[in-house]
Amino acid sequence: MDSQYKELFEKNLELTIRIEMLEFKTQLLFDNSRTSRLLFEYDITQTQYRNLMDLLDKYRKMLDKAESVSSSKFESEVYELIPELKGDYHFCEFFSQSLMEDGRWEEVFPALYGEMQKYKYYMENRKQGD
């Protein structure tokens, strides 16, 4: 009987995790923002999302204290949170940029990537649009 109980418990746990993931994915689709579409596309879990938000809060606090930040350090910290993205710096750039465009953590993307040559034109045009 113990093995049957253990099997049912494991199956219940697996189903609970799948339901939570489906609910999160549904919410992302419902939100339909640039950020939520990116999270959906990259198959980010709700736990990973929460951890990313904590990381962004950390960077906001660092910027509020006028501490220096770097894109390479940010990317390394994202890879620690989501190891399967290791080396995918595009996600880090797209994620912080999409949040800025959604009006969230707007100071983080310019601090991390705003001076990069590939974003200079984008940042200049963004300033002109303000």
> Tens digit of pLDDT per residue, the chain (130 long)?
688 889 999 999 999 989 998 999 999 999 989 999 999 999 999 999 999 999 999 999 999 999 999 999 999 999 999 999 999 999 999 999 999 999 999 999 999 999 898 888 788 887 765 5
The structural domains of the chain, with segments of one domain joined by +, span 1-31, 32-129
pTM value? 0.81
C-beta of residue 59 within 8 angstroms of C-beta of residue 69 = yes
Q: Fill in the amino acid letter for 29.
A: L
> Is residue 36 within a helix (H) or strand (E), and if so which, with residue range?
helix 34-41
Tell me what pLDDT residue 122 has.
84
Tell me what pLDDT residue 120 has.
82
State the Cα–Cα distance between residues 26 and 39, nearest whole angstrom: 12
Tell me what pLDDT residue 130 has.
54
